[in-house]
Structure 1
């Protein structure tokens, strides 16, 4: 029984290390999003850190429009980045979880 527990603890530690490595790697995975008309483009990492915002001079003429574009495009980019982040981390967690009866979190 203790061998099983030690094996599970080792597997959990290994999974935690893989998660940390993946989190660092996700800092280098870039997600791009832009408005439908291409006037605003944003790039962020899969860890949701904004790397760049590029906007057309046309947007500088209308503060309200710029604000609307920023909210929409940034929210879309954050959603994309979150999906990438969660998918990557869930795959590692699922692969690394010990098989404990009744604890099937990732069906």
Structure 2
């Protein structure tokens, strides 16, 4: 009985360590996303941290509400793309560690 618990604890520790490694790796992955026809550019890490936002001059002098709308759409698009990368890497890490994943 204690052997199985020890094995489980070892697997949990291995999973924790692997998750930390993946998190560090995802900090280095930068995803570039464009919106508003390329007038808004966002860079976001695989851990969903926004690193950079660029807004073209044409949008900066236009309608403020339109800029806000386009910015929200582009940020949400970037977060969705980063989430896909994050989930994919976490699934890869779990393969072999957890039966049935």
Output the CA distance in 1 between the equivalents of 2:96 and 2:68. Answer: 42
Partner SS for 1:6: helix
What's the TM-score, normalizing by structure 1? 0.84
Output the CA distance in 2 between the equivalents of 1:70 and 1:36. Answer: 8
Q: How does 1:20-39 map to 2 (within 5 A)?
A: 20-35=20-35, 37-39=37-39
State the number of aligned residues. Answer: 100
Output the CA distance in 2 between the equivalents of 1:36 and 1:91. Answer: 33
Output the CA distance in 1 between the equivalents of 2:48 and 2:55. Answer: 19
Output the CA distance in 2 between the equivalents of 1:56 and 1:65. Answer: 13
Q: How does 1:8-27 map to 2 (within 5 A)?
A: 8-27=8-27
Partner of 2:71 in structure 1? 70
Q: CA RMSD in A?
A: 1.5
Partner SS for 1:54: strand
1:26, distance to aligned residue in structure 2 (A): 0.8
Partner SS for 2:66: helix
Partner of 2:40 in structure 1? 40
Partner SS for 2:43: strand
Deviation string, structure 1 residues 22-46 (Cα, Å, up to 9, x no partner): 1111111111110151111000111
Higher helix share: 2
Q: Which segments of 5 or more consecutive residues in structure 2 lack a partner in the other structure?
A: none
Output the CA distance in 1 between the equivalents of 2:96 and 2:54. Answer: 39
